[in-house]
Amino acid sequence: MTTIVNSPAPINDNDGNSGLLIAIFGLIVLGLLFFYFGLPAIRRMGSPQINIPAPEINVPNEIDVNVNQTP
């Protein structure tokens, strides 16, 4: 006996690529939010800057080095 298979007609999806467009728009919005809020927050998380004054070293203009000493 022969079996006849009637497959249903394909359903046409007329929404196009709206899901892809929504996903791309969402990624753009998330990227902009990251640049607006995330990057300044990351910069502030760095180590604090402590201003320590540099040591002041006085060097004379001439240094007298006597190798030959007289008794």
All structural domains of the chain with their residue ranges: 19-43
Q: How far is Cα 22 from Cα 29, in angstroms, rounded to an integer?
A: 10
- Range with the poorest average pLDDT among 13-17, 29-33, 47-51, 61-65: 13-17
- Run of H or E residues at 22: helix 18-33
pLDDT, greater one: 57 or 69: 57
Please name which of 25, 42, 44 lies closest in space to residue 34, comparing C-alpha atoms.
42
This prediction has a pTM of: 0.44
pLDDT at 14: 67
